[in-house]
Amino acid sequence: MDLYVPIIVLGVLALAFAAGSVAMASLTGPKRWNRARLDAYECGIEPTPQPVGGGRFPIKYYLTAMLFIVFDIEIIFLYPWAVAFNHMGIFGLVEMVLFIVTVLVAYAYIWRRGGLEWD
């Protein structure tokens, strides 16, 4: 149990800092509310009205999300593989080549669908 005490203390300190920051900001922050401040904000552009059932997102939104997930998963798998490369031998190399091929298939799909073209 002695090994976990520093981790628990760090977690408690992080929670206390987060809660304290939110509480202090709400207590010390300005309380001047007006119509402009309560309006929706979209990067300085006037918000566009949305249809009742929500709106349709362009496919680029989903392709960008998929690209992020593909590369995020790739990094999560590549780092431990690189650390333990000497212990896995040829089996680890073959498995990683197969994984990289599947990642390249997803990358080619996103490229073909126009996910890398920014307008």
The model's pLDDT over 9-51, given as tens digits with 9 standing for 90+, comes to: 999 999 999 999 999 998 998 788 787 777 766 666 666 676 7
The yes-or-no verdict on residue 64 having pLDDT over 90 is: no
Average pLDDT over residues 93-115: 87
pLDDT at 52 > cutoff 80:
no
Q: What is the pTM of this model?
A: 0.47
Helices 85-112/59-83 angle, 10° precision: 170
Span 81-90, pLDDT tens digits: 888 888 888 9
**pLDDT average, residue stretch 58-68:** 79
| pLDDT number for residue 38 | 73
Q: Give residue 119's pLDDT band: very low, low, confident or very high (50, 70, 90).
A: low
Side-chain half-sphere of 71: how many Cα atoms within 13 Å? 8
At residue 4 the predicted structure's pLDDT band, cuts being 50, 70 and 90, is very high
Cα end-to-end distance, the chain, whole Å: 55
SS3 readout for 52-63? CCCCCCCHHHHH
- Which residues lie across from 45 on neighbouring strands? 42
Q: Nearest to residue 96, comparing CAs of 108, 84, 107? A: 84
